[in-house]
Structure 1
Amino acid sequence: MTVDTNSTALVSTTKSNWAPQFSPIFPGLNTTETEPTYNASKIDTGATLSKEKLDLSQYPRGWKVPPTDSAEVKAIIDRIDWSLVPKSPKHKAQNGDIIQTGYDASKDPDCWWTSSGCTKPKIDYIPSDFYNCPTKGDWGLTYDDGPFVYSSDDDKETKQENKWAEPELYNFLAKEDLKASLFYVGSNVIEYPAAARRALNNGHTLCSHTWSHPAMTTLTNEQVVAELYWSLKAIKDATGVTTKCWRPPQGDVDDRVRAIAWQMGLHTVIWNEDTDDWAMPAPGGGNLPPEKVDAKFEKWIKKQQQGKYNTGIMVLEHELNHATVGMTEKWLPKLKETFNIVSAMQCNGVTQPYWEKSFEYPAVH
């Protein structure tokens, strides 16, 4: 593949007919500094992190679907080959639930994961999603919705959450000598860039989880671009890396969204086991009894001990609140006795998950 001076080379792949990709260029960012490199030395486990935010004036409003008429987003829209984006329907949601009425999951023409669990696109120029670990015995460690932002709000409930915010999880993983794939919401990254830098420097893999965490198949093509672009820019601004992996919120993805994300340099990552930890009682959570989540971990350990898995598994967890962080702290030491716990991207052989080629993770096998 040829490389131009703007670092927008096509990604080298093992298949010659994948749709071409490009690395977004981020106006206004200083990208001339030395590229970051993997830190293989002793990692930082300091108890505090800087609370300094990124320049919020350079970003759209957090936790809202960004506008599509900015010059930066328009530039990305113009670079996409729209003939390679299927004309799948834009779905609707009601009260947070994606409406599937009328969609034929048995035919599943759009490889819509929400409806059918499809992970192999119906179009042959986009690769299959990563959704498990190919090697038996591997536990692909992932956390969504980070970085878990420290808050100085006066709200009593939020104050109780503060001690569980980063670097709590990252320091625990360092103590356990474990690496994870972290799927970051851009709206969190701009509020707590020091946490993202800590995670990168500690050897975790950073991926996008969109800008504002919407159901992606409910958005227009242009909104999909905006959600992905601003999350990528926030991660680049905070850490210096441009990621090539992303996970759709709720797993809501189809070939239309995949094709846009792929051209923007992003490989779709799903999962094949779900802790449902997000639903436990806690800020941002639900009413699921923690015992139900405990039972899932117990089931996975027993199943692995009985040799019932044909591959490794990729497990969905969250750095969302005290309940989710506490649950992973409870179970990871026990899981290490049965599983080989590895970063989900590395268990899929991805050692260079960023466009910055000098940044390379060690292989895990």
Structure 2
Amino acid sequence: MVTKFLAIGLLGSALVALSDAAATKANQKAATTPSPTVDALLAVTSPAWLASITPITGLPTEVPSGTVPTGALATSIPGFNVSAYPTGWKTPPIDSDEVKAVISAIDWTKVPAAPTRTGKSNGDLVMTGYNENTDPYCWWSDTNCVKPKVDYLPEDIYYCPRPGDWGLTYDDGPFNPSDFSKLSDSPWAEPNLYNFLAAHNQKATLFYIGSNVVGFPAAAQRAIQDGLTICVHTWSHPQMTTKSNDEVVAEFYWTLRSIKESTGITPRCWRPPYGDVDDRVRAIAWQMGMRTIIWDEDTNDWNMPGDGGGNLSPNTVDGYFQGWIDAYKNGTDKTNGHIVLEHELNNATVSMAEKWLPTLQTTFNVVPVHECMNISNPYWEDNFVYATENGTASSSSASADPTTTDMSSALSTAPPASTETSNEDGALSASASAESQPTSGSSVMTVSSLSALMTAFFAVCLL
């Protein structure tokens, strides 16, 4: 990598001028505060504390190709050690040797000292005493902040840069029928949604709860075999800023462990439940190998009547989908693409997802998040090299394809500050302040952009 950058440097001032012009044209207006460059970010590596975890047998060792599996799933799979995990849906203990090893591996001087927040009995957060004007810890739940206040953490991924892209994501899986008492939910549990995606030749990004993975490892296995992308959604789905540092580590660790054992991969991405994240939690996630992914469009599908759901009328959710489609078709939504929050939570959310997907496919370019962000390696296992919008990756190594990059180095361009987001529990969050929300695009020189600039430079020389 150093050799590549030294070679590029020999192009001199002409390339610098060209890169400035290309960045300006791509972003249309300069950023007031540029995102940090890749070199400025805190260095992270593949989690050594997962090296001893042996995945179950029969898993793919690279991106699957060919016919996607369908059919029923077993409730358990041989070789998956359920007894090794803590109690599901509770904050996992912090005194195990495994969690202690991760705690010891983290550089705590690089974890901002944001206070541990307090949750109310109804699940809301206590925000009294937090200065939303200065937003010292980039607390999304209060300000929708996505750009950390420390320069060694990357900006959250929360939208697709290219207009017309629809980043398809589903939270809270794998949907396990044994977790629910209502028989009406069972037919909608996995592999229902995964089979539907396969039938419509559609890939998506799945944010998995560790407790659900342990309860239904066969569904996680099916997801990786289907070519779906898997990210972390914590062990027990808490408001993460209400957890101590050690509890945050435990929430991440047991989810990462369950995903690696059931699928053979180690995600480089996570999404905070309810969107609740600040720089303290981001820094722990980053040092555990994961970039934060939020969203910029929320279906609020979780709040429809259904097991574990609420009272939001399905007609209202239908209206959200139709409104997004209409806005794109009439030209009022042309600034950037979107990352959209949906759930594989119950019969209501799965049926809503299946109802709208065919129409979305005729309107948008529906893709998983890594594809719209041109991230070829969403996992630490670099033999999994996925296709991106920059081109189809065919190499077994990320470094062999200069048009693609990985989850740690893909830096986004911020959409207009007027983009409105809401948190996952349905309450509309406060608008981001000028200090916390980027107001214009930003540009970063990645391997991909350098490659493109070199091509353009030589093309100009040949004119």
Range into which the TM-score falls when normalised by the shorter chain: over 0.9
- The residue type equivalent to 2:46 in the other structure is S
Contact kept? 1:200, 1:239, Cα under 8 Å: yes
Aligned match for 2:241, one of 174, 198, 217: 217
How far 1:56 moved relative to its partner? 2.1
Distance 1:39 1:21, change over 3 A: same
- The residue type equivalent to 2:364 in the other structure is F
Are 1:150 and 2:177 an aligned pair?
yes
Q: How many residues align?
A: 351
Contact kept? 2:55, 2:263, Cα under 8 Å: no
Are 1:80 and 2:103 an aligned pair?
no
Are 1:160 and 2:184 an aligned pair?
yes
Aligned match for 2:263, one of 239, 242, 246: 239
Are 1:122 and 2:149 an aligned pair?
yes
Q: What is the aligned partner in structure 2 of residue 298 from structure 1?
A: 322
3-state DSSP of counterpart to 2:283: helix
3-state DSSP of counterpart to 1:143: strand
How far 1:32 moved relative to its partner? 11
- The residue type equivalent to 1:74 in the other structure is K
Matches within 5 A, 1:59-98: 59-94=85-120, 95-98=122-125
Structure 2: segments with no counterpart, 5+ residues: 3-35, 391-463
Contact kept? 1:52, 1:194, Cα under 8 Å: yes
Aligned match for 1:285, one of 287, 309, 314: 309
Are 1:20 and 2:43 an aligned pair?
yes
Range 114-123 or range 343-352, more displaced: 343-352
- The residue type equivalent to 1:175 in the other structure is A
Q: What is the aligned partner in structure 2 of residue 141 from structure 1?
A: 168
Aligned match for 1:258, one of 279, 282, 286: 282
Are 1:343 and 2:376 an aligned pair?
no
Matches within 5 A, 1:161-240: 161-240=185-264
3-state DSSP of counterpart to 2:377: coil
Q: Counting helix residues as a fraction of each chain, which structure ranks higher?
A: 2
Contact kept? 2:56, 2:262, Cα under 8 Å: no
3-state DSSP of counterpart to 2:196: helix
3-state DSSP of counterpart to 1:132: coil
3-state DSSP of counterpart to 1:60: coil
Q: TM-score, normalised by structure 2?
A: 0.73
1-side partners of 2:153 and 2:117: how far apart? 21
**1:226-246 CA-partner distances (Å, limit 9, x unpaired):** 000000000001000011100
Q: Alpha carbon RMSD of aligned pairs, Å?
A: 1.8
**1:152-191 CA-partner distances (Å, limit 9, x unpaired):** 87x4x2x211100000000101111111000000000011
How far 1:360 moved relative to its partner? 1.0
**1:312-343 CA-partner distances (Å, limit 9, x unpaired):** 01000000000000001111111112111000
- The residue type equivalent to 2:84 in the other structure is Q
- The residue type equivalent to 1:281 in the other structure is P
How far 1:358 moved relative to its partner? 0.5
Contact kept? 1:35, 1:359, Cα under 8 Å: no
Identity of aligned residues (%): 52
Are 1:43 and 2:68 an aligned pair?
yes
3-state DSSP of counterpart to 2:362: coil
**1:89-131 CA-partner distances (Å, limit 9, x unpaired):** 1101112111112212121111000000011111000010100
1-side partners of 2:179 and 2:130: how far apart? 45
Distance 1:27 1:357, change over 3 A: closer
